[in-house]
Every structure is written in structure tokens, then in C-alpha cells.
Structure 1
């Protein structure tokens, strides 16, 4: 059922707008507002994190346990699909990158900087630095919006996928620094293994020697953030050239996007083989 759920989620994501409907964060955001409004949240950030992440995950686990014995577990398939769709990343990456790509292709650095700040929340002191920041965000959004979610869903099921997304939402929307800090610690732990599997995938579908050389020193380093690892290894694995201006810069983004597509295909094949032979 795991491969079927992943396949259906990808088909729905590509061919329909249902993901945006499923990804209604309104009820959870109201819970966040209520939790942060309480006096206990300022004194006990761990309690707030329990209410925001652990409690919904526990409720999902109990519901899945109730559905699994029925109809050989097939009644739980719609719930698996809904949770996986909800757990995928927010927004439309290609659509949000469109205005930046247009400005960069024209060679209008000022417009590209304004668009990057408006649409992507990015800034840099020079044009090459801005493009590197966009590349890093492209890699990071693909990881936290797709690869990490799929990894934990395949490994531990919808409970782990939902926990990852709720941690990401907490980091993004919580106002209390203490809550964001603790959620960040948990997400760092969630990111540690899947980001290294993704980097190994980059080596298999990209420049194997260069990618392995770039990540070997930090392969087992616990403290290095997943976003930093991706920004360092991704461009190397894509075998990007140095030119940044104009169409050459767009070519760098296209090469990274192609690398991510090849990594996705590799993951689909690996999941299918794992399901087949386990």
C-alpha cells in the first residue's frame, strides 16, 4: 500500500489542485495561537510543542490503529493519502521562481533582487550571491517539501510524515523563540538521515566523484545543518559551471532542477524495489 499511496499522492499533486485544498493549516494555526496565548507556553515550551506536534500525531496513530484491522487495512488508505498530501511542502516552487527567472534572464539584477526578496524572502550583497541563495532554497524546499516527507512516510508511515510537517509549521509560524528553537532541534534530528540519503542519491544521478568528495568530510557530522549540506553538495553534484550572469544563471537552476528530478526517479525505483523484495 505504501507505493500505491505515494504514487496516488504524486499523481494528485501533478494533475489537480487538491493538495492546496488538503493543506488547510487554519485549524492548526488557530491551535498555535491558542497555545501561544496561554501563560504556560512561555514557561513550558516543551508542553507547547507536545500540544502542537505530539498530540495530533498521537491522535492520528490511534485512528490508524482503529482502521488497520478493518477490510485488511484498505480503509486506512484514504487517511494515508490525505496525511501524505498534507505533509508535503507548501506553495508552488516553479510558479514562485518564475518572476525571478524572468528578471535574471533579462540581466536586470535590481529587479531580480526585489523579486527574490518579495517572493522568496531572500537577499544578498551581490548577484552571484543572490543566485547561490536561490539555488540553496531550491534544494532545501525540495528536501523538506518532498524528499524528507517521503523518506519518513516510507520508513515509519504517516505518523512520522505528519510529525515532520508539524515541526516545520511550528518553526515557520510560532512567535515564541523558545518553541521555535525546540522544534528546530527535533527537525534537525528528522533531517539528519534523509538529507544524507538524498546526497548519496545526488552522487548516483550526478557527478559521483565530486559529490562524494564534497560531502565526505561532513557525512557523520551531527551539528551541520541539512540546508548547509545541500547548498554545498547539490551544485557540485549537478556539475555546475562558474558563470552566473543571464542565461548561464538560468542554466544553473535548470541543472539543479534536472538533478532533483533524477533523484526523484531513483527514489521511486528504490521504493518499488524495496516494497517488492522486502
Structure 2
């Protein structure tokens, strides 16, 4: 059933705008604001558990009740809703659109402004700005899709929801102690799926370049997943120095196609697993 849910989620994502109606975080953000504004700064792990564990327990209980009914088919809508909710927020390609237009024109000032407005990337010199946008594209593609698919395929909807809640906490928590613990936990959750995606980049891109760039650091625990993916993506796509104009825009298209080919590879592998099990 998991592969069917993955296919349905992909169809819903590509053919409708229902994802944005499902991804309502208001209630959870209210709980975050209430717990994060407390005075007990010495218990950040407890706060994290109070924010993440109750939704996971409720979901696990619902699935436990539905799983024996109708051969488990009643649980399918719950799987689908949770998986869609757990995908990334926003539209990566849409957020990069104004930057692409400005970069194609060679308007560095406009590119800096839209990068800061739409992607939260602070202004910097043009070459570094394009590399930051490339990193943003790869990271958003990974954390918004690949990491969620990995944990869902491995451990089911509870794990997928847990990853998204930890990711939201790492991005939205105001308290430094709570945010630091969420970042630490997310780093651990990203360790394996990020490296599986790096291996996918090598298979669908330049295998030799990726191996030369990252083979010696593949198991480096201290290497952030965002930096790992940027280096792997640039190596797999044979990207050289950042260029202004159409060549720079073409580099973003190349990285996006790298993500698309990796997604096809993942779905093919999951289809084979479904046939064999």
C-alpha cells in the first residue's frame, strides 16, 4: 500500500493545489508559541517532546484502529493526508522564478532583492549569490520531498510526520535552546536520506566527479546535509564557476533536472521493492 500512497501523493502534488489546503500549521504553531514562551529554559528537550510526540501518538493510535478494518484500506486516506501534509511548504520553482528572470537580464541588484524576499538569502556578491540559490534549490528539493519519502517508505506515516514537525520546529522556534535541540535532531534525521540522495546524484549524474568530491567525507557526521547536497549536486552536474545571464539560469535548470531524475530513480527502486515483497 505504501507505494500506492506514494503514487497518489505525487499525482495530487502535480495535478492539483490541494496540498496547500492540507498543510495548515496554525494549530501546531499556536502550541509552539505557548510552549516556547515558557520560562523553563532548562528543559528544551522536554519542550521538543511535548511538541512532537503527542501528534505522533494520536496518528499511531488512529492507524492502529483502522489497520484491521477492510484489509487496511481505511487507513489509506490517512496515509495519503499525512504524507501530503509532511511534504515541504511553498513552491520551490515559483520562489526561484523572479530570481531567474533578474539573473537572466544580468540585473544583480534586482536578483539580490528577490533572493532575499523570496528565499531568505542575504545579499552578497553575484557569484556567491548564485551558489546560494543553487544550494537553496537542492536543499528545498531534498527536505521538501526526498527526506519525507525516505522516512515514509522506511517507517511509515508516523516517521514522515515526525520529520516534518522537527523541521518546522528547527525553522520556527524562537527560543535558541529549543531551536538548537531541534536542529540537532534534524541533523540526525537527515544523515542517512541525504547520503542516499547523494548516491542518487552520482548514479544519474557524473559518478566519478561525485566520488572524487565526497567519497572521503560521506560518513562525516559533522558535515551539514545542506552543504553535502550542494557539493554533490554541483559535482554531479559538472557545474563550473557561477556565470551571469542564461548560463547561470541553465545551471538551476540542470540541478532541477538532477532532482527529477533522482526522484524517478527512487520511485523505480520503490516499485521494485513493492513487487518483490
TM-score by length of 1: 0.97
Displacement of 1:63: 1.3
8 Å contact kept, 2:112–2:124 = no
Counterpart contact for 2:169–2:182, Cα < 8 Å: yes
* Aligned residue in 2 for 1:95: 94
Distance 1:37 1:207 in 2: 48
Comparing 196-205 with 47-56, greater Cα deviation is found at 47-56
Specify the alignment match of 2:153 in structure 1.
154
**2:217 alignment partner, SS class:** coil
CA contact (8 A) 1:5 1:81 kept: yes
What does the per-residue CA deviation read over 1:205-236, in whole Å, with 9 as the maximum and x for residues that have no partner?
00010011111011111111100101111111
Structure 1 equivalent of residue 32 of structure 2: 32
Tell me the CA shift for residue 124 of structure 1. Answer: 4.3
- How far the C-alpha of 1:243 sits from its partner, in A, is 4.9
User: Which residues of structure 1 form unaligned runs of 5+?
Assistant: none
String of CA shifts for 1:50-107, please: whole Å, max 9, x gaps. Answer: 1111121122111111111111111110000000000000001111111000000000
Aligned to 1:266: 265
Correspondence for 1:216: 215
- Conserved in 2, the CA contact under 8 Å of 1:241 and 1:252? no
Q: How many equivalent pairs are there?
A: 277
Q: Structure 1 stretches (4+) deviating beyond 2 angstroms? A: 37-40
Question: Following superposition of structure 1 onto structure 2, how do residues 1-278 of structure 1 map, counting pairs within 5 Å?
Answer: 1-40=1-40, 42-278=41-277
Local SS of the residue matching 1:255 = helix
C-alpha separation in 1, matches of 2:131 and 2:17: 30
- Kindly report the root-mean-square deviation, in angstroms, between the aligned alpha carbons of the 2 structures: 1.0
Query: For residues 182 and 274 of structure 2, what CA distance do their matches in structure 1 show?
Result: 32
Deviation at 1:241, TM superposition (A): 3.4
8 Å CA contact retained: 1:3, 1:275: yes
Shift of 1:125: 2.7
Rounded to whole Å, the distance in 1 between the matches of 2:99 and 2:7 is 31
Structure 2's unaligned 5+ residue stretches are none
Q: Structure 2 length as normaliser, TM-score?
A: 0.98
Secondary structure of the 1:217 match is helix
- How much has 1:7 moved relative to structure 2? 0.6
Task: Please list the CA deviations of residues 27-61 of structure 1 after superposition, one character each: whole Å capped at 9, or x if unmatched.
Answer: 10011111123333x23111110111112112211
